[in-house]
């Protein structure tokens, strides 16, 4: 399986990258970076840190530093910390740095080099994907599939716009373009995240492992869960990006899914960035996403074990 991973490199993004890099069945062609959880400079730094800890050489590229239209502001420090990785106290000496070239161009060119073979996994805002579409409208026909972490199909979000999920909320125009252009994306929504948390016994076992990989996982989680608790949120172990990566790497882990047409609200004063879902196919518009609803969490736990295991 050939992957391009487009990421805004917060805590859960880092874990998703580690999961993909540790999977023997996956070939990560490159990693592309986008603003979202943290500013682009920290996104790039965090991807480098993941590669340092995993001791793997995978090219990664700078992408969009701002959303298409909306201003960007740092809204997730209470989750991801000031550095986007849980305020890591100890980072390994930096050995991996971004390659020359732009993320958007890499998405286009690599899809041309391997038409029909590459799965693009978007675990951040969809800005890079939208820019690639504008430069190359044929992109959807060359990708094997687009997998998206984003959206809330039941209007239960995680932003100040209550029904909006963060990745879509961060760049609604980009998300609108992507949902309009791709006809069979796999979508792991915030609803799926809430319905499929990492079981506490699994989490406790993971953070007890020795070695630098488990140390990065443990320290980034500790900071995130502590800040969420201090902010008054239930500190359950939600895994939006790693859940997305798990069902990408192991589609057989999807126990239940639904087909829907999903679009993005762009103008509502109380709903901008909300994903609007035609649950009953009322308007008879062809579905454009397969939405994951239930996941076999034992298999997800196995994938976590693979990337925290000492090597």
| Assigned token pair, 236 | 């359950």
The whole model's pTM is what?
A: 0.96
- Separation CA 18–CA 46 (nearest Å): 12
Question: Bridge partners of 28?
Answer: 3
Question: Going residue by residue through the chain (311 aa), what tens digit of pLDDT does each one get?
Answer: 999 999 999 999 999 999 999 999 999 999 999 999 999 999 999 999 999 999 999 999 999 999 999 899 998 888 888 999 999 988 888 999 999 999 999 999 999 999 999 999 999 999 999 999 999 999 999 999 999 999 999 999 999 999 999 999 999 999 999 999 999 999 999 999 999 999 989 999 999 999 999 999 999 998 788 777 776 666 568 999 999 999 999 999 999 999 999 999 999 989 999 999 988 777 778 999 999 999 999 999 999 999 999 87
CATH 3.20.20.80 given to domain 2-308 = no
Query: Helices 11-22 and 40-54 sit at what angle, rounded to 10 degrees?
Result: 40
Tokens of 276: 């609007």
Residue 46, Cβ density class (10 Å: 0-12 exposed, 13-18 middle, ≥19 buried): buried
Distance CA 299, CA 277 (A): 29
What is the C-alpha to C-alpha distance for residues 158 and 156, in angstroms, rounded to an integer? 7
Domain range list for the chain: 2-308
- From CA 54, how far away is CA 224, in angstroms rounded? 21
- Strands 289-295 and 254-260, by their bridges, are antiparallel
Q: Which phi and psi (to 5°) does residue 21 adopt? A: -65, -25
């Amino acid at each position: 399986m050939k992957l391009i991973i487009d990421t805004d490199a917060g805590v859960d993004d880092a874990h998703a990258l580690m999961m993909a890099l540790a999977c023997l069945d996956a070939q990560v062609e490159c990693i592309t970076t986008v603003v979202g959880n943290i500013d682009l400079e920290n996104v790039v730094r965090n991807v480098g840190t993941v590669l340092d800890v995993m001791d793997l050489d995978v090219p990664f590229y700078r992408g969009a530093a701002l959303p298409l239209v909306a201003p960007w502001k740092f809204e997730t420090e209470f989750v991801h910390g000031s550095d986007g990785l849980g305020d890591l106290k100890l980072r390994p000496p930096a050995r991996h740095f971004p390659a020359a070239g732009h993320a958007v161009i890499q998405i286009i060119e690599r899809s041309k080099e391997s038409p029909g073979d590459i799965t693009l996994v978007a675990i951040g805002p969809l800005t890079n994907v939208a820019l690639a579409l504008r430069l190359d409208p044929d992109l959807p026909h060359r990708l094997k599939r687009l997998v998206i972490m984003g959206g809330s199909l039941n209007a239960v979000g995680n932003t100040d716009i209550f029904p909006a999920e963060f990745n879509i909320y961060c760049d609604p125009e980009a998300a609108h373009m992507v949902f309009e252009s791709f006809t069979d994306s796999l979508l792991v929504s915030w609803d799926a995240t809430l319905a499929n948390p990492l079981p506490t016994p699994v989490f406790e076992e993971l953070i007890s492992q020795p070695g630098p990989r488990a140390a990065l996982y443990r320290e980034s989680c500790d900071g995130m869960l502590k800040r969420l608790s201090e902010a008054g949120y239930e500190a359950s172990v939600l895994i939006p990006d790693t859940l997305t990566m798990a069902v990408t790497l192991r589609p057989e882990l999807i126990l239940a899914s639904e087909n829907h047409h999903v679009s993005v609200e762009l103008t509502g004063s109380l709903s901008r960035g909300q994903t609007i879902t035609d649950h009953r196919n009322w308007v008879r518009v062809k579905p454009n996403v397969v939405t994951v609803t239930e996941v076999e969490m034992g298999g997800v736990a196995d994938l976590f074990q693979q990337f925290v295991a000492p090597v």
